[in-house]
Amino acid sequence: MKVKLFFLTILLAFTLIGCSSVKSYLGKQMMKQSSVLEDANYKSFEQYRIEGKLDPDGYYQYEDETTGASLGTVHITFASNNNLKVHYYADPAHRTAIDISNCYMEPGDSVYAECT
């Protein structure tokens, strides 16, 4: 009885080990047959993965593009509120007030607000 149980356990272990390799083999064959491996998007995804541009979940990590000078206009709206009095400043120390009726800002400039 012990010998049969031993052989049955070994047979079960080999069966389970074989299932994982069969699953891996079938996955590779499905990728080949579906022609995903030749797809341009898949190739670029693999290139990004090799270069390390993907996060652990497989999403592309965008590079920080704030270092370049941007050209264009910036539109700022200074809103009013009956319940709040908001004052806008050009510096974080709140010393240089901004004239909200006529204001010109360069790209990259900051606006600081103080509510009273």
18 found inside a domain: yes
Residue-range definition of the domain harbouring residue 24: 2-51
Confirm whether 58 is domain-assigned: no
Tokens of 12: 């079960």
- Name the nearest CA neighbour of 89 among 81, 100, 101: 100
What's residue 72's pLDDT? 62
Residue 85 lies in a domain: yes
Question: CA 78, CA 37: separation in Å to the nearest integer?
Answer: 53
Statement to judge: residues 6 and 46 lie in one domain = yes
Do 81 and 114 have their domain in common? yes
What are the residues whose beta carbons fall under 8 Å from the beta carbon of 65, sequence distance 6 or more? none
- Quickly state the pLDDT bin for 71 (edges 50, 70, 90): low
Question: What percentage of residues in the chain have a pLDDT greater than 70?
Answer: 77
- Name the percent of the chain lying above pLDDT 90: 2
pLDDT higher than 60, residue 68: no
Q: What is the mean pLDDT of residues 81-109?
A: 84
Total domain count, the chain = 2
59 falls within a domain: no
Q: In this structure, are 7 and 46 located in the same domain? A: yes
Tell me the pLDDT band of 99, cut-offs 50, 70 and 90. Answer: confident
How far are the Cα atoms of 1, 22, 72, 76, 107 from residue 11, in angstroms, in the given order?
15, 16, 71, 73, 71
Token pair recorded at residue 80: 């009013």
Average pLDDT, the chain: 78
Q: Is 20 within the bounds of a domain?
A: yes
69 within domain boundaries: no
Question: For residue 93, is it within any domain?
Answer: yes
